[in-house]
Amino acid sequence: MKQIDRLRALGLFDSRVPRYTSYPTAPVFSTAVGAAFQKAQLTTLDPAAPVSVYIHIPFCERLCWFCACRTQGTQTLSPVESYIGTVEKELSLLADILPEGLRMGRLHWGGGTPTILPPALIHRLAQSIKSAVPPTTDWEFSVEIDPTMVDREKIAALAKEGMNRASIGIQDFDPEVQTAIGRIQPFDVTAACVADLRAAGIHSLNTDLVYGLPHQDAARIAETVDKVLTLAPDRVALFGYAHVPWVAKRQKLIDDTTLPGDETRYHLAELAAQKFQSAGFANIGIDHFARPQDGLNLARNSGHLRRNFQGYTDDHCPTLIGVGASSISRFDGGYVQNAAATAAYIQRIEAGDLAGTRGHQLTLIDKMRARAIEMLMCDFRLDRTELQHRFGSQTQQLTADLKAVMTTYGDLVTLTDEALVIEAEGRALTRIIASVFDAHKPEGVRYSQAS
């Protein structure tokens, strides 16, 4: 049987499984966990362990039709300015309850489009964050940047506040693909943005690409990859297009008859991956590539690669504090998500409350399954020895799942007393294999395709 037919028979094109940027995944969160839990977790943080901070900016000037991120369109700055005022109030609520001496090891601004902020607002927001949670001396500050919505002044403002990593959205350079996703982004504009970021001292530059977009074919994705290579990024994310118009309503603007079929989609991903490998990039997890000396590859090589809401990371801070509408915090005890709609978030903060509305309290078994799934997503290897060391006899709970994986995926995986390993030919099935260890699969949630 051809490899692709074998993968098809095992459900590659029919399975609908999460991307496991957390376990349990966000759709499983319940309203039983909210602001009270958030407050309890924040007040009891260990001040000696630096935290990561994520700031969500849910605004874009343009709304790309393919995009599944939580964001809203705006043509004026007034809602953005008033939102930043609310974020500052949330930061001061946090400062009131966080333990004395706590430091920020990582800061990430995402969205939406953080670069919709003019320089004055960039400075204001950065200062408010630093006064709520002062940075460590070796902190990292990364920002998601839309090359069509940024200029030298904004980059200079971000660099002055300490930005040392950046991630730019590219998706695809082909004009017909860009038209079909409602996102026009000339190569020249992107290249100028990259030059400005490098001149500002960015040492780790990521580019986001998407395969499976309307009208994409082998020649077009190959040309996009060649153009991306001329920009010399340090990291590349190559996401499979998630067509979920029932979640992201704006995707209804995409004519689904122009989407590449399952096999084409698979070959587009393979082709792009091969080109990045030939250019010297290392494979990172299921959908990232990194230069050998980039932190992401160093983390992978030393077994320190982790998965969080932004995808793969070398962040080692145990706690993530999410600030802004819909942002998710991760504490040792569990996850809390702020009110998702911007209006509801503003109402909560302006009333003087924390904005947590949904979440999940982690049991010991959840933590073990979370780590098992993270290891498969990061290393294609579930290290039984590590789990045994951390979770003792609880690991027996995984025996039936390990057996089920062996029965179904047979020669694509290897099971020993030390580890379950997904072999190279089986890696396309990683999300599906990880889902065997998911004990919280929700009823009625329709995830995107697994390939």
Ligand X SMILES: C=Cc1c2[nH]c(c1C)Cc1[nH]c(c(CCC(=O)O)c1C)Cc1[nH]c(c(C)c1CCC(=O)O)Cc1[nH]c(c(C)c1C=C)C2
Ligand Y SMILES: C[C@H]1O[C@@H](n2cnc3c(N)ncnc32)[C@H](O)[C@@H]1O
Q: Does 97 bind ligand SF4 (CB under 6 A)?
A: no
Q: Does 206 bind ligand MET (CB under 6 A)?
A: no
Name which position in 81, 208, 217, 353 contacts ligand Y (CB under 6 A): 208
Give residues 62-81 in contact with ligand SF4 (rule: CB under 6 A): 63-64, 67, 69, 71
Give residues 109-138 in contact with ligand MET (rule: CB under 6 A): 111, 113
Positive or negative torsion for Cα 66, 149, 306, 36: negative
Please compute Rg for the chain using Cα positions: 21
The CA distance from 15 to 231, in Å, is 35
Distance (Å) of CA 365 to CA 362, 373, 396, 419, 440: 8, 12, 11, 18, 11
The CA distance from 205 to 386, in Å, is 32
Q: Does 242 bind ligand Y (CB under 6 A)?
A: yes
Contact criterion met (CB below 8 Å) for 306 and 316:
yes
Q: Which residue, judged by CB position, is nearest to ligand MET in the bound state?
A: 169
What is the per-residue binding string for ligand Y in 120-159, x denoting contact by CB under 6 A? Answer: ----------------------------------------
Half-sphere exposure of 181 (CA within 13 A, CB side): 27
Min CB(338)–ligand X separation in Å: 8
Q: Does 313 bind ligand X (CB under 6 A)?
A: no
* CA torsion, ordered 182, 186, 191, 196, to nearest 10 deg: -70
Contact criterion met (CB below 8 Å) for 361 and 390:
no
Name which position in 66, 139, 276, 312 contacts ligand Y (CB under 6 A): 66
- Type of residue numbered 40: A
CA 235 to chain centre: 14
Stretch that binds ligand X, among 63-71, 222-230, 278-286, 424-432 (CB under 6 A): 63-71
Q: Does 239 bind ligand Y (CB under 6 A)?
A: yes
Helix (H) or strand (E) holding 172: none
Q: Does 67 bind ligand Y (CB under 6 A)?
A: yes
Name which position in 34, 135, 169, 324 contacts ligand MET (CB under 6 A): 169
Closer CB to ligand SF4, 61 or 386, in the complex: 61
Q: Does 171 bind ligand Y (CB under 6 A)?
A: yes
Binding site for ligand Y (CB under 6 A): 66-69, 169, 171, 208, 210, 239, 241-242
Binding site for ligand MET (CB under 6 A): 60, 69, 111, 113, 144, 146, 169, 208
